[in-house]
Structure 1
Amino acid sequence: MVNNEQPSQTALMAAAARAAHLLVDDAPSIFADTMAQTFLGERADELLGYHRSYGGHPVLSGARTTAVTRSRYTEDRLSELAAHGIDQYVILGAGLDSFAYRSELADRVRVFEVDQPSTQDWKRARLAATGTKVPSSAVFVPVDFEQEPTQSLTDRLVRFGFDLSRPALVGWLGVTMYLTREAIDRTLAAVSGFAPGTELVVEHLLPAELRDEAGRSYAELVMAAAAEQGEPWQTFLSFEQMDSILCEHRLQPVEHVRQHETIDAAGWERTDSLRPFALSVLSRASVPAR
C-alpha cells in the first residue's frame, strides 16, 4: 500500500481504466463498469483526464484493454457458473472492484472482497460519500497476501461467512505479478482446500520471451513506473510454469486465455485504440473431486 489512507496506485489506475473505457473508447464497449468512477473520489478528474487527453498512448490504451478484458471474462464465467447453482464469489485483491454494487447477479451471489484494510477503508468511505448502499451479499475480508499464512486466508473467509462445503468462483486479477512466489503458493494452497467444483481465474504476466512487441513495450514502460511507486512486478509465469504450480497445489488446469480470446474475434474490429497484446494471461483451474 502507498500509505494508510489510500488504496494502492494500481487499484486506482485499474478503476480509472475501467471507468475511462466508457468515456474514451468507441461502442460497443467490452465491459461496462458503471461504478468505477465512484471509487476514484477527488482524483477522478486527474486520472480520467489522462485518458481523455492521451487515450491513444500505448500505456493508457493497454491499461484499458487489460482491465476490461480480464473483468469481462471473469464475470462472464461467474454468470455461467451461477446458472448452475454456484453462489459464492471470492475476489482476491478486490481493490476497487464494483461487481457487488452494480450487477444484478450480485443479488444471487455472496461476494467476498479480500484485500488490504486500507483499500477497503477507502472503498467504504467512497460508498458512504456517494450514498451507495452496500448490499448484504457483499462482505469485506481484510487480508495481507504477503504476510498471511495459508490457514489465515481460509479462516478469515469462513469467519466472514464463506461456506467451505460449497463451491465458489475465485477471481484473482491484477495481483500475482506484485507477489513473491511464496505468497502465490500460500494463496493457491488455500484455494485448493475449497469445495470440489470451485473454479479459479488467475491473471499472470508472461516472461519477456513470450511477449509480443506491444507486450514488451508496455512492460518496459509500466514495470519501471510500478517500481518507482513502490509496487514492483516480481513474478512472471509461462503457461507451463503456471500449470506446474497449479498441479503442485492439487488444482486442475482448465485453460489459458489470452487477451484476444476474451471476446469474439469480431469484437476486435474496433475503431478506437484498444488492441489485444501478449503480456497478461488468464489461467482457469478447478478444484477436483477428492
Structure 2
Amino acid sequence: MSSLPINMVRQGIPSRSAMAVASLRAAHQLLDEPLVHPDPIALPLLGAPAQAALRDDPFRLNDPLSRGLRAALVVRSRFVEDELSRCVAAGVRQYVILGAGLDTFAYRNPYCDEGLRVLEVDHPGTQRWKQQLLAEAGIDVPPSLAFVAVDFERDDLGAALQWSGFRVDQPACISWMGVTMYLTANGVLSTLRTLATFAAGSCLCFDYRVPVSMLNPIERTVSDVVERQVTAVGEPWLSTLDPVHLQAQLLELGFSSAHSATPDELNERYFARRKDGLRTGGSVRIMCANK
C-alpha cells in the first residue's frame, strides 16, 4: 500500500501496511541477487532501529508469502520506472506519483539534469510522516520534488496538481501503485477520468486486483491470507477490476492504448533464469495506458 487510510492519517497513525511494503522493498536489497530494483534509499528510509533489525536478520522476511509479496512489489517499481525511462527519452519532464507513501524515486532521480520534475501526491498526514522519516535519516529533499498534499475524499486532484506547478499542457508519466485496491470501483473510475484529461504523450501505470474467479486455487489461498491481514490492521481491500472491462473503460476515456501485464509476462521480463526462483503471481495485475 502507498497511502494511508483517511481515518488513520487524521489520527496521526502511520500505516502498518505502508511500512511493511517499504520493509519488503528494503529486504530485496539484502536478500535477492541479482537485484530487480536497486534502491539505495530503501533501507535508510525505514529509520535506524528498523534498518538495524532488518540488516541483522533479513531472513525473517523470506518466508514463501513474503517472497511472493516482495517480488510483486519490486517488479511494480521496476516496471513503472522502466516506463518512466521511455517517457523521459520521448521528452516527458513530469513524473506524478499518486499515493506516493514511502516511494523513494525522487531521492535517487537519475534524470535531474534532464529537468525531470517529480510530484509526490498523498494525504497531508502521510506526507508529514514521510518527511519526518526523511529528516531522521538525513535524506535531503531535492529541488526537483514537489509534495502535493491532497485529501482524496475532499480535494480536486487536478486543481491541486496545477497549484503545485503541474503543466496540464505538457505530457506526464503517472505512477499509481498500491492504491486502487483500497478504493471503490467508482473511486478508481473518478481518478481515471481526471488522469484521462492529461496531455497527449502521457503514460499511466497502476496496479489493481482481479476478481477471485480469475485465480487458481493457490493464488486464491494466498490472496485470502493477505486480505485478512490488511483487514485486521484496518486497511481493507475494497475493489477488484476485470482486465477486459478496465481496458475498455480506459479506451473510452480517451487513452489511445491500454495493456494489462500478467504475472507470466512480468516473470518472463524480469525474473527469467534466476537461480533463486524469485517470481511474482497472485491477484494483482499492472495496467499501462498511453494518451
Q: Give the TM-score normalised by the residue count of structure 2.
A: 0.89
Structure 2 residue aligned with 1:211, among 197, 211, 215?
Answer: 215
CA distance in 2, matches of 1:43, 1:6: 18
Task: Show the 5 A alignment for 1:260-275.
Answer: 260-262=264-266, 264-265=268-269, 267-272=271-276, 274-275=278-279
Task: Show the 5 A alignment for 1:251-290.
Answer: 251-262=255-266, 264-265=268-269, 267-272=271-276, 274-287=278-291
Structure 1 residue aligned with 2:139, among 109, 132, 140?
Answer: 132
Letter in 2 for 1:219: S
**Equivalent residue, structure 2, for 1:170:** 174
Deviations 1:231-275 (Å, cap 9, x if unpaired)? Answer: 111111121121133234333342111234236457332233522
SS of residue matched to 1:86: coil
**Equivalent residue, structure 1, for 2:71:** 65
Q: 1:103 to 1:6 in 2, by over 3 A?
A: farther
SS of residue matched to 2:258: strand
SS of residue matched to 1:32: coil
> Is the aligned partner of 1:9 residue 2:9?
no
Structure 2 residue aligned with 1:234, among 233, 238, 242?
Answer: 238
CA distance in 2, matches of 1:220, 1:50: 30
* Aligned 8 A contact 1:62 1:274 in 2: yes
Structure 1 residue aligned with 2:165, among 147, 161, 165?
Answer: 161
* Aligned 8 A contact 1:212 1:277 in 2: no
* Aligned 8 A contact 2:247 2:258 in 1: no
The Cα shift of 1:129 comes to 1.8
Aligned CA RMSD, in angstroms, stands at 2.2
Letter in 2 for 1:55: L
The aligned length equals 283
The Cα shift of 1:90 comes to 0.5
CA distance in 1, matches of 2:281, 2:50: 27
* Aligned 8 A contact 2:212 2:220 in 1: yes
**Equivalent residue, structure 2, for 1:94:** 100
CA distance in 1, matches of 2:39, 2:220: 28
The Cα shift of 1:95 comes to 0.7
The Cα shift of 1:6 comes to 4.2
CA distance in 1, matches of 2:270, 2:200: 35
**Equivalent residue, structure 2, for 1:196:** 200
Q: 1:109 to 1:58 in 2, by over 3 A?
A: same
**Could you tell which deviates more after superposition, 240-249 or 83-92?**
240-249
* Aligned 8 A contact 1:7 1:119 in 2: yes
Letter in 2 for 1:41: G
Letter in 1 for 2:178: G
Structure 1 residue aligned with 2:84, among 78, 85, 94?
Answer: 78
Percent sequence identity is 36
CA distance in 1, matches of 2:56, 2:68: 13
The Cα shift of 1:37 comes to 1.9
* Aligned 8 A contact 2:36 2:270 in 1: no
* Aligned 8 A contact 1:100 1:106 in 2: no
Deviations 1:126-177 (Å, cap 9, x if unpaired)? Answer: 22222221111111111133x135xx10000000010000000111101000
Runs of 4+ more than 4 Å apart? 263-266
CA distance in 2, matches of 1:219, 1:106: 38
Q: 1:239 to 1:270 in 2, by over 3 A?
A: same
Deviations 1:88-140 (Å, cap 9, x if unpaired)? Answer: 00001111000010131244311010111121111111222222211111111
Deviations 1:35-93 (Å, cap 9, x if unpaired)? Answer: 11222225625873797233342321122111100000100110111011101000011
Deviations 1:5-27 (Å, cap 9, x if unpaired)? Answer: 343222211111111001122x1
CA distance in 1, matches of 2:77, 2:222: 19
SS of residue matched to 1:133: coil
> Is the aligned partner of 1:184 residue 2:188?
yes
CA distance in 1, matches of 2:270, 2:79: 16
CA distance in 1, matches of 2:260, 2:271: 19
* Aligned 8 A contact 1:69 1:262 in 2: yes
* Aligned 8 A contact 1:99 1:106 in 2: no
SS of residue matched to 2:201: coil
Letter in 1 for 2:70: R
